[in-house]
Structure 1
């Protein structure tokens, strides 16, 4: 069975020890423990070669996001962020900084191991209820940019933007078709075009792209 080398980054040694014990129950081996992103960078420079870095997010968000960026520039390892709570801003900033997953510390051990395995298979992973949290946090956001500016790099049509916003709201193809008053086959066609334009392999990656580019969930057309 293939095993992956894990580096844990957290100032809480007790939590890290418990996490290491948990992770060891799957196809993962915890080889290094670092107290901060800077310590992790020193370990990497000294020869540590993790397959995945599990970084616990603390209170100093700006400093830690900068640390994720430095780690992303220094290694090809997959980066998984563990947070005490799932917050819109820290989720978006973590993904933009180069994280491959954003997970809640309170998730079950089975879900954590499954998420880590998905990350190692190339998936971008974040909680399924993020869309509803984004909606709940919408009143705290600064005035959003015009959609055209947010998605200009992907060259998406107005309808394709609507499709992505419905996706963020957790809607199925059938629900999207009903909301936008189009057929389900038309929804599938638009999804195919969107995936090609933004270079996404699945709906999860498309949703992450939408979050990173400033789109918000759409309940009704």
Structure 2
């Protein structure tokens, strides 16, 4: 069978998530999990991006998740997905960080793939769903295993700022600023209008990036690296 489709929630205007890859990469249990977590979203799997296009799946696509096996032709597939599905978020799903990390490095060096996002398939189920939820909401989240090995190498364009500090996303800086101000996760979640679990996920990733093991150390890092005078509060 070349594709698995959810026929329960079809119709004009229905948000769609397309998984592009084999049933081994995206088994039915994964598709069912996404359907259960995102009620009303139509979830489909196709072996190739061309099959998804031929099946008339271009309308209302919110996210296109690509298996890591497509990395060799990723630039062409990424451009095709962006041109066909408009504002859909294109995500590379990876199990092998040694495959995904060079892609991330190319992106950070300005060598194309603008807007490509990443999701580690080896994450625990709860974390994986939280990451997927962030990506569907348009957030930019860089998994720590992609950036940590070279974040301290200032020869890598985009991996660190001019002072050699690890590169944090805008949302991670917002969360870290609020942590440094002494706010707890529940308060931060309310201030940023996200779930408390999402805040925990951001904190987990940013602590890995900056190489600390607890909130106090993260707050100290924030204060010591020139962020204390940044604009307060979430943008």
Normalised by the length of structure 1, the TM-score is: 0.59
Aligned to 1:205: none
Q: Which has the higher contact order (CA 8 A, sep 6+)?
A: 1
- CA deviations on 1:111-156 (whole Å, 9 max, x unpaired) are 12211211122201231343323359x6xxxx947x7xx79xxxxx
Aligned to 2:80: 70
Aligned to 1:85: 96
Aligned to 1:120: 136
- CA deviations on 1:12-34 (whole Å, 9 max, x unpaired) are 35733221112122015344322
Q: Cα offset for 1:100? A: 4.6
Q: Provide the secondary structure at the position in 2 that maps to 1:53.
A: strand
Distance change >3 Å, CA 66–CA 16, structure 1 → 2: farther
Q: Is the 8 A contact 1:166 1:176 kept in 2?
A: no
How is 1:109-148 mapped onto 2 (pairs within 5 angstroms)? 109-134=125-150, 144=155
Q: Is the 8 A contact 1:100 1:123 kept in 2?
A: no
How is 1:158-173 mapped onto 2 (pairs within 5 angstroms)? 161-162=162-163, 164-165=165-166, 167=168, 169-170=210-211, 172=218
| Aligned equivalent of 1:33, options 45, 54, 72 | 45
Q: Cα offset for 1:174? A: 2.2
RMSD of the TM alignment (CA)?
3.6
Q: Cα offset for 1:86? A: 2.1
How is 1:1-221 mapped onto 2 (pairs within 5 angstroms)? 4-12=15-23, 15-28=26-39, 29-44=41-56, 47-58=58-69, 60-74=70-84, 75-87=86-98, 88-93=101-106, 96-134=112-150, 144=155, 161-162=162-163, 164-165=165-166, 167=168, 169-170=210-211, 172=218, 174-175=220-221, 177-178=223-224, 186-189=226-229
Q: Cα offset for 1:188? A: 3.0
Q: Is the 8 A contact 1:81 1:99 kept in 2?
A: no
Write the distance in 1 (CA, Å) between the matches of 2:55 and 2:114: 19
Q: Which has the higher helix share?
A: 1
Q: Provide the secondary structure at the position in 1 that maps to 2:122.
A: coil
List runs of 5+ in structure 1 lacking aligned partners. 152-159, 181-185, 193-200, 203-221
Number of aligned residue pairs: give it. 168
Distance change >3 Å, CA 106–CA 14, structure 1 → 2: closer
Write the distance in 2 (CA, Å) between the matches of 1:51 and 1:129: 26
Write the distance in 2 (CA, Å) between the matches of 1:52 and 1:188: 36
Normalised by the length of structure 2, the TM-score is: 0.56
